[in-house]
Amino acid sequence: MRTIIKMDEITKTKKTKQREAILEILKNTKSHPTADEIYQKVRQEIPRISKGTVYRNLKLLAEKGEAIKIDTEGTEARYDARVESHYHFRCDSCGKVFDVDVPVDAELDKKAAQETGFNITHHILEFRGLCSECQKKTIISSRGDKNKKEV
């Protein structure tokens, strides 16, 4: 009896149910989850999966171009299955990451290349500030502070 193993065309790696489950979780969320958040979700489907398996598969998915690892300024890495060029916004208060749907400025690459003489292939841009939820919390807490009286 022959066993047929499906191999990925590019990297010659076996397609596994663990990797497929991880990719499905990424494709079905817009929250840009951390590896730990992905691990918690995939455990609901595959209870015996290890954290190491999740981390290895996320690394492989990023290397294959099926996911993006968002890793800036020493914060915990987050993952995104939306692999076409796009910008992100990271909230300074809660740390959540959101997609920013404005056109990517390819002219910026050209300008920077002309200025520096570097061969620039792309750029990564992350906007920072407060998300709408944290802005609401800030407004509510500032109103509460005004109503407080010192005794």
Q: Note the pLDDT tens digit of each residue in 126-146.
A: 999 999 999 998 887 766 654
Rounded to an integer, what distance in angstroms lies between the CA atom of residue 112 and that of residue 105? Answer: 12
Tokens of residue 69, six digits? 């690892």
Can you give the residue ranges of every domain in the chain? 8-81, 84-151
Which helix (H) or strand (E) is 115 found in, with range?
Answer: helix 106-116
Question: Which CATH superfamily is 84-151 part of?
Answer: Ferric-uptake regulator, C-terminal dimerisarion domain (3.30.1490.190)
The pLDDT score that the predictor gives to residue 4 is 43
Per the listing, tokens 């489950």 go with: 21
Q: Does domain 8-81 bear CATH number 1.10.10.10?
A: yes
Q: What is the pLDDT of residue 6?
A: 47
Residues of the chain falling short of pLDDT 50: 1-7, 10, 146-151
Beta strands in 59-125 (DSSP E): 68-70, 78-80, 87-91, 97-100
Determine contact, residues 8/15, Cβ cutoff 8 Å.
yes
Domains 8-81 and 84-151 share a fold: no
Q: Which pTM was predicted?
A: 0.76
